[in-house]
Amino acid sequence: MTEKLFATPRIRNTIQDQHQEEKNNKAYPSSKVVIQNYIICSPRQTDKIIHIDNITYLSNPPQQGVLLISTIEGHTFIKFQSYLNQNIVPVISPSQTPKLEEENKENEICFCIEDTPTYKVSNETNEIQIIFIPGRTIPVNIKPIKFKKGSFSKFCEFLKQLGIHFCNGNISIDKRRLAIMVDIPKYLNELCNQKQKDKRIDWCKQIQFDNIKKINKNYQWNNENESIIRKGLFYKGVDNDCRCSLWSKCLGNSIDKNIFEKIKLQVNNLVDIQIQHCKILKEEIEQILKDVKRTTINKSVLEYWNCPIEKIKNCIELLMKCWILYDLDKGYQQGMSDILVGIMECSMDDYELFSIFVQLIELMSSIFNSKIPFDCIIGPIVKTLDLELEEYFSMKKIGYSFMYKWLILLFRRDFVSEKCIRLWDAIIAYPKNKFHYFIAVSMLLEHRDIILSNRLDLDDISIFFLQLENKFDDHLLIDADIALSTFKQKSSKEDQDLVFA
């Protein structure tokens, strides 16, 4: 049974030969300058290379040599390579350029200019000294570089042609007009992370995954069985005929049925004049009516309800109106109707549907109604689990807004129905763990290599994940479980308070 979670027969491939890939990884392992063969459209500038002579790299001792500027898939790399013989005449003509060292990597420096968003410059009589300042941790220690004044102007002019500008200590890069496109089927087929796969196998052995039982209606909810039921629900799920009743028990504090009936009666007795005279109520109901019309009723709900789609949408409209009368302060927000549809996959009882909906919205209150910025919740988790990715996002000023849709819809657009419902089982089994955050971060981390290798920006990332809708796998449940455990062990109390509040 465990094999289903790990069955990912995928192999990463690139158009580089193995020797070249090893060379690149060794020279700059944090970005792995890789041109992957599932990139089918890359509207970037043509690859170029230029060298600038008479450069002094202020290592210890200082080295003289040339500065090589190259572009790979639109990303600009700067490399210093020292002369073979350091006892050279300070001023030379191009025809007298000394030979460069071929093998001594200690005298080389190579970095991507996107990793140095700021710089410091100082002028001397005939020279200009520049210090490139990294915006994140990179595997090289960049020393100051001295240019002859003529060389520096040539250097800046060439970079300007590439859309790179130096101004008042900041390095800005012109935005590409078009985002990159990825051959998603090919990419997913080749995606492989053996290290993460091994982690899943070890984790399942540790929790004795194969010994955990799926929950059915024969399990009685009591103090003795509660921990067994929650664990079974989390890892193995529950039969659909008792799913909603178990969800309600795990979430706790269900709404009283008499209160619900009174609210429903109020909704049915609303008259137009009441709605017209209450601006907030009018706006809320208008938004509900718009959203219900465009809410997708998936195949699972249609099969479970076995009735005309109009009846299902009438139920959604009724329960959403009940919600705004129940809590007008929180009100209706886009995405809520989608969450209700998810509950409708396993219940047709309007009280049960409404009660679980209210409990789920309470669980997700930090998303729907939090005063804490979304990035302040996701950021600490990413930082704890993948510092390199968090530093890259911070340097590029990329926020986590592209993940908001995942959470506001509780992954209903990202996983097929049967996989999504299993994630809901896990989220509801232990509400205090805020497991939905760790699922979202695990979705991001699974694809961190393509983001870093191709230096994707926010537009690239948003389009990339849009193409992955309904293509995520449920092995992310185990990844998120590992992520949660790691975060609890390694994060600060302050970060935990933010996430689990």
pLDDT tens for each residue of 299-340: 999 999 999 999 999 999 999 999 999 998 889 998 899 999
Is the CB of residue 403 less than 8 Å from the CB of residue 378?
yes
Long-range contacts (CB closer than 8 Å, 24 or more residues apart) made by 92-95? 92/53, 92/54, 94/53
Confidence bin at 419 (pLDDT 50/70/90)? very high
Q: How far apart are CA 467 and CA 74, in angstroms?
A: 23
Lowest-confidence range among 11-25, 329-343, 418-432, 448-462? Answer: 11-25
d(CA 330, CA 327): 6
Angle at 79 between CA 76 and CA 82, to 5 degrees: 165
Q: Record the tokens describing residue 16, joined without a space.
A: 């580089």
Note whether residue 399 is domain-resident.
Answer: no
CA quadruple 215, 217, 218, 223: dihedral positive or negative?
A: positive
Q: Is residue 97 part of a domain?
A: yes
Strand extents, DSSP E, 281-372? none
Domain assignment present for residue 250? The answer is: no
The residue to which tokens 């520049």 are assigned: 130
Q: CATH number of the domain that 142 lies in?
A: 2.30.29.230
Q: How confident is the model at residue 18 (pLDDT cuts 50, 70, 90)?
A: very low
Query: Is residue 42 packed enough to be buried (19+ CB in 10 Å), middle (13-18) or exposed (0-12)?
Result: middle
Give the H or E element holding residue 18.
Answer: helix 18-27
Res. 44 pLDDT band, cuts 50 70 90: very low
User: For residue 177, what pLDDT is reported?
Assistant: 59
Please give the residue range of the domain that contains residue 169: 44-173
- Within-domain flag for 292: no
Least confident of 41-45, 235-239, 245-249: 41-45
Q: Which pLDDT band, with edges at 50, 70 and 90, does 54 fall under?
A: confident
**pLDDT digits over 262-299, tens only?**
999 999 999 888 888 889 999 999 999 999 999 999 99
Average pLDDT over every residue of 486-498: 95
* Tokens linked to 256: 């009283």
With cut-offs at 50, 70 and 90, classify the pLDDT of residue 252: confident
The CA distances from residue 486 to 389, 438, 482, 489, in Å, are: 16, 11, 6, 5
CA proximity to 342, closest of 297, 307, 292, 403: 297
Reported confidence tier of residue 19, pLDDT bands at 50, 70, 90: very low
Claim: this prediction has a pTM higher than 0.75: yes
* pLDDT score of 28 more than 60: no
Nearest to 359 by CA among 251, 258, 437, 256: 251
More confident site: 12 or 463? 463
Residue 67 within a domain: yes
Q: Name the domain count of the chain.
A: 1
What integer pLDDT is reported at residue 153 of this predicted model?
A: 86
Three-class SS of 156-199:
HHHHHHCCEEEECCEEEECCCCCCCEECHHHHHHHCCCHHHHHH
Q: Is residue 94 part of a domain?
A: yes
Is residue 98 included in any domain, yes or no? yes
pLDDT in tens, 65-119: 888 888 877 788 999 888 865 554 444 344 444 455 554 455 467 899 999 999 9
Whole-number pLDDT of residue 245 = 92
In sign, the C-alpha dihedral spanning 91, 93, 98, 99 is positive
CB 104 within 8 A of CB 128: no
- State the pairing for strand pair 164-167/108-112: unpaired
Cβ count within 10 A of residue 194: 11
Residue 359 lies in a domain: no
CA distance 321 to 338: 15
Interval 196-206 mean pLDDT: 93
The beta strand positions in 73-144, using DSSP E, are: 75-82, 108-112, 118-123, 127-133
Mean pLDDT of the chain: 84
Measured CA to CA in angstroms, residue 347 lies from 109, 241, 302, 422 at distances of 63, 8, 12, 16
Q: What is the DSSP letter of 102?
A: S
